[in-house]
Amino acid sequence: MLKQSFTTPKLSKASKVCVLLSLLTALVLISIPLASHFGRNEELPTEVKVEQVFVPVIMYHSILRDETQWGDYVLSPEVLAEDIQYLKENGYEFILTADLIEYVQGGKPLPKKPVILTFDDGCYNFLSYVEPILRDSGAKAVLSVVGSYAENENGKQQHSSYSYLNYEQIRLLSKCGYVEIASHSYDMHKLGLRRGAMKKDGESEEDYRSAFISDLLLSIDGLEKNCGITPQVYTYPYGLVSEESKEYVKACHFTASYGVEEKPNFITRNSECLYCMNRYNRPSGISTEDFMKRALSTE
């Protein structure tokens, strides 16, 4: 076999310069991504994980034994008790809006699986049926009362089917430790020319502001004078919310509010998440399990 001999070709001066420039260029191109990756990490955007807690809120209204009254906003005490038992068996712990406020503002920890029960309108049957169930089960609830309803009950003979709680009854409930009192307006729980707390057709911004804030202040004043309570929570009548009302509620020092949109709540350290919180209405005619599948869903 013939042995071949190889010799390194001699490069001209110009060729040597070209080779050198090519090598330098290659080194620069390689160093750019390396510098980006290793030398400038501080400039790269980092994903910030926001802590959020899923908090389902269930909305009840009237609780009665009379089955002829059961419907979208009235159900039996037995169904309420079944709902509470289901939540307990599935690891949920009952909290109040005040617990959410302390979590957001002060970092107080929440249970792993919190849930809030709300009762709208301040029905007298809350005292007849709901309070004993809460007491016996260890549950808690937010009770939203209408100031004018409470005033009108003073001195009246009350009945579970149609009466509302008076101020003295609200005061006593507020002291039990497991019932939180919220404002449901003073006298805007109506569907007339003004629908709930909404602006009336043709109403000026100034007139609307005056009417809404006056109603809020009357509600606060009634609870403070008659019950010794300064409410932190506002529950919109019928869940009717205007953009202006959101600012008025904050201006009157409410730190949270409830609407009626049926969507999940994810609570963060941002106080804005406490306003117009979503709730699932609990109707009659659906099993506890089927209702809870919807109300406890994160989707």
Res 225 pLDDT > 50:
yes
pLDDT-above-90 percentage for the chain: 82
How would residue 26 be classed by pLDDT, with cut points 50, 70 and 90?
very low
> Cα–Cα distance between 96 and 52 in angstroms, integer?
17
Domain boundaries, the chain: 53-295
The pLDDT tens digits for 263-283 are: 999 999 999 999 999 999 999
- Residue appearing with tokens 């350290």: 269
Report pTM.
Answer: 0.83
Question: For the domain with range 53-295, which CATH number is right: 3.40.50.11030, 3.20.20.370, 3.20.20.190, 3.30.200.20?
Answer: 3.20.20.370
How would residue 121 be classed by pLDDT, with cut points 50, 70 and 90?
very high
Average pLDDT over residues 33-62: 68
CB burial of residue 39 (10 Å; 0-12, 13-18, 19+) = exposed
3-state secondary structure of 43: helix
pLDDT score of 49: 65
Sign of CA dihedral 128, 77, 64, 258: positive
How would residue 48 be classed by pLDDT, with cut points 50, 70 and 90?
low
Query: Across all residues in the chain, what is the average pLDDT?
Result: 88
Task: Please give the C-alpha separations between residue 182 and each of 88, 119, 121, 178, in angstroms, as whole numbers.
Answer: 24, 10, 10, 13
Tokens for 6, please give them: 């190889």
pLDDT score of 46: 53
**Pick the residue with more confidence: 166 or 24?**
166
> Cα–Cα distance between 224 and 167 in angstroms, integer?
10
Res 1 pLDDT > 80:
no
pLDDT score of 107: 87
pLDDT score of 124: 98
**Pick the residue with more confidence: 24 or 78?**
78
pLDDT score of 20: 41
For strand 74-75 and strand 62-63, is the pairing parallel, antiparallel, or unpaired? parallel
